[in-house]
Amino acid sequence: MIQGVTVHNRILATTPIGSVAIDILEKWAPVEISSSPDEETLLGLMEGTVGLVCRGEGKATSRLIAAANDLRVIGRTGAGYDSVDVTAATTRGIAVVIAPVHAFAVAEGTLALLLALVKQLLTGDQIVRTGQWETKYALVPGDLAEHTMGIVGFGRIGAHVAKLLKPFDMTVLAYDPFVDPSHVGDSVTEMVGLDELLSRSDYVSLHVPLDDSTRAMINRDRIAQMKKGAVLLNMARGPVVESLDVLLEALDSGKLGAVGLDVFPTEPPDASHPIFSHPRCIFTPHVVANTELALERIYRSMANDMVMVLNGGRPTFCVNPEVFE
């Protein structure tokens, strides 16, 4: 943006986006990357912004939407849209498009974290690096074979996780109140209730959207229902788990054998929290979906749908299609 000059028909991104998205969007309007994703910075850029790419820590709040007189479409890089006030956008007739085309990447990341934890790869790596070879006899990795995996949330990602687990000779349980059990295919052994899944599973992976029904879904009471030594993965949204404190308590008591997190209650998390020095945890900074192929697909899908809206058409993936009625 030129100092002192208002740029009309701008497409604004809350954080940097890939060149494939910029190339598509710039055919419609100039693309500007905000210097910061905080609300105050974004508010100062809303005049003339017709399209908002909401990525990373950037949020399309009701306050931001109310100030965006020219805004016509909000694009989210991924499947989740809890960072967008969809109600406020819908009231204003603003379409919210998403890009749920990266399930394979999150599923692969889930399997990678699961195997790393169960096989104790980080511990083994440290044994070699620190010259403590004799301690290897105390290291007893676990198995996937003949164990039970519980998948909480059986949408695109959960279904792909189940597909990847087929060669591992596992019992796969799934919970999703919105999925017809007759439509899950042969990758799932059984669809069960959440309490039953937690009590029967050796490994539990979370793949639910964040809403009022899933916030703090995994709490002290639910963890108490799990098998002693169970492994918990959160690949969904951080607030689906009550807090880092309840996870640490469960690890210290032995109720949880290991924890893998790609998401956190607040992002970035407070790195001084003692869970981040716990030896039976692996953390990734909300990046398992951001593989090379997944990002290319996400950016292309989102940008094309945003341009479709700006051109007066209907996008492929829209969470509030009623704005077109």
Catalytic residue among 55, 72, 222, 237: 237
Cα-based angle 239, 243, 247 (whole degrees, multiple of 5): 120
Active site residue 267: yes
Is omega for the bond preceding 37 within 30 degrees of 0, making it cis? no
Look at residues 207, 174, 176 and name the one whose alpha carbon lies nearest to residue 80. 207
Sign of the CA dihedral running 294, 300, 303, 307: negative
Cα dihedral: 187, 191, 193, 195 (round 10): -40
**DSSP helix/strand/coil, 101:** coil
Active site residue 286: yes
Catalytic residue among 190, 267, 273, 296: 267
**Which contacts of 270-275 are long-range, i.e. CB under 8 A and separated by 24 or more positions?**
273/244, 273/248, 274/248, 275/244, 275/247, 275/248, 275/251
Cα separation, 214 vs 168, whole angstroms? 29
**Cα Rg, the chain, nearest whole Å:** 22
Q: Is 254 left (phi over 0), alpha (psi -120 to 50) or beta?
A: left
Catalytic residue among 92, 286, 296, 300: 286
Question: Looking up tokens 């820590």, which residue turns up?
Answer: 57
Look at residues 22, 225, 205, 239 and name the one whose alpha carbon lies nearest to residue 115. 205
Active site residue 8: no
99 is written with which tokens?
Answer: 């890009």
Which residues are identified as catalytic?
A: 237, 267, 286
